[in-house]
Amino acid sequence: MINKETIVNKNNKFIVGWREVAALPDLGVDDIHVKIDTGARSSCLHTFKIEEFTQNDELWVKFWLHPIHNNTDIEQVCMAKVADKRVVRNSGGDEQLRYFIVSTIDFNGQQWPIEISLTSRDNMAFRMLLGRTAMHGRIIVDPEASYLIQTKEK
């Protein structure tokens, strides 16, 4: 594994492979397998159930996800304020109205807020996609590499 000190280039961007493990600390997700997708504009997170509610006159969502790669037995419930609702076109060309939230992403101590859409990814291998907007100014992708980011010790 490569640690974060050895993967930062002169522009202060760090190098990731096409798949990595990250955390979403604002949502209580310690480890989630992420596909780094330079073809996707926005990031998305697999949710299999979403309920909207109002808190302090603001729209929020409660959503359920399977945080563990290739495991649908473990469920996690998260809540977040809705940042936006908008139409997203998926890779198949289908349009879907999605909730967007803002959450911090953490790649072994490198943290920043990103916008994430919530959608069902049951038929996809990864529970999360990291899109170009979330990578802008921070990440360089090595498409031949995988899991370059060392995960934190538990």
Q: Is the dihedral of CA 37, 25, 153, 121 positive or negative?
A: negative
- Span 98-107, mean pLDDT? 96
What pLDDT does 6 receive? 45
Q: Is the pLDDT of residue 4 over 60?
A: no
What pLDDT does 12 receive? 80
Please provide the CATH number assigned to the domain covering 23-45+81-139. Answer: 2.40.70.10
Of the pLDDT bands very low, low, confident and very high (cuts 50, 70, 90), residue 2 is very low
Query: What are the pLDDT digits (tens) for 28-73?
Result: 999 999 999 998 999 999 999 999 999 999 999 999 998 888 888 9
Contact predicate 36/18, CB 8 Å? yes
Query: What are the pLDDT digits (tens) for 117-154?
Result: 999 877 777 889 999 999 999 999 999 999 998 765 54
Structure tokens at 120: 């069902």
What pLDDT does 154 receive? 44
d(CA 43, CA 119) in angstroms, rounded, equals 10
Domain ranges of the chain: 23-45+81-139
Contact predicate 37/114, CB 8 Å? no
Find tokens 């961007």 and name the residue: 13
Structure tokens at 69: 């790669």
The model's pTM is: 0.88
What pLDDT does 9 receive? 63
Q: Is the pLDDT of residue 96 over 50?
A: yes
Give 99-134 as a DSSP string. Answer: EEEEEEEEETTEEEEEEEEEE--TTSS-SEEE-HHH
d(CA 81, CA 99) in angstroms, rounded, equals 10
* β-strand pairing of 58-65 with 14-17: unpaired
Query: What are the pLDDT digits (tens) for 5-17?
Result: 445 665 788 899 9
